[in-house]
Amino acid sequence: MGQHFLVDQNIARKIVEQLSPDVESVVEVGAGMGVLTQYMVDDIRDKFYVIEIDHESIDYLRAHFPTLGDHLVEGDFLKADLSRYGQKNMAIIGNFPYNISSQIFFQVLKYKEQVVEVVGMVQKEMAERMASREGSKTYGILSVLMQAWYDIEYCFTVNENVFNPPPKVKSAVIKMRRNAVTDLGCDEQLFVTIVKQSFNQRRKTLRNSLRTLLNPEIIGNEVFDKRPEQLSVKEFIALTNQIAASHVSP
């Protein structure tokens, strides 16, 4: 399945140590052979859940961690109803399957009212993208959409040789904490559309890439001379409000 299993116990422990003690439930995504699981299963058993898609891994985990019981869930994290594992202050943790890490973050966004923290290992490039600020080449859709709701911290880089088999890329651990924002102050759906549509043609000016959304009153505004990587989260929110206002008939 192209998965890379962490074999370095110190790093496994260090990842689990990033979890904040105040979380009320913890969901591990893709436990594999349980290298992270082993450091949580005893300490936080009542509030700990594992979601793993692979049947063989499930058999292995059931045999090695019998106390998990029905907290071991066979299924797809991307389709999981996270409200079954806690109503608030939930943490998501895992050495994420890299091919679906963006989708994992979109699933987190869907449950942002519950998910207060994410501790995850991802490709180094992905970690950098998530944490990068406007003006940076790596600033993109996920940076804006995640930073709107989470404070993102790049914790540490992880070398290829601590995995079996070693991946071709470097990895990194990131930690995300829900910020204090409860309302973006704009139409959230339109915000997402605008962010995605701008970055899908990141070298073009906003005037070009957002043309379908801009009516004549505002199309000349200076902000549309910019390119998406120049806009902070706040500026994307302001832009969303500008566009929304121009669509309301007087």
Query: Using CB under 6 A as the criterion, which residues of the chain lie in contact with ligand SAH when the complex forms?
Result: 1, 3, 5-6, 29-33, 35-36, 51-54, 57, 76-78, 94-95, 97, 100
Instruction: Tell me whether residue 5 or residue 154 sits nearer to ligand SAH (CB atom).
Output: 5
DSSP per-residue letters across 14-33: HHHTTS-TT-SEEEEE--TT
Least distance to ligand SAH, CB of residue 143, Å: 23
CB of 103 to ligand SAH, least distance (A): 8
Angle at 124 between CA 123 and CA 126, to 5 degrees: 65
Residue of closest CB approach to ligand SAH? 30
State which residue, 93 or 195, has the beta carbon closest to ligand SAH. 93
On whether the CB atoms of residues 142 and 153 are closer than 8 A, the answer is: no
**Cβ of residue 94: shortest distance to ligand SAH, in angstroms?**
6
Give the closest residue to 246 by CA, choosing from 221, 227, 224, 218.
Answer: 218
Find the shortest distance in angstroms from Cβ 79 to ligand SAH.
Answer: 8
Nearer to ligand SAH, 100 or 190 (CB): 100
For ligand SAH, the closer of residues 86 and 120 by Cβ is 120
Of the two residues 29 and 243, which places its CB atom closer to ligand SAH in the complex? 29
Nearest approach in angstroms of CB 22 to ligand SAH is: 23
C-alpha closest to that of 219 among 189, 238, 237, 239: 239
> In sequence order, what are the beta bridge partners of 52?
74
Tell me how far apart the terminal alpha carbons of the chain are, to the nearest angstrom: 56
Q: Which two tokens stand for residue 158?
A: 């992880």
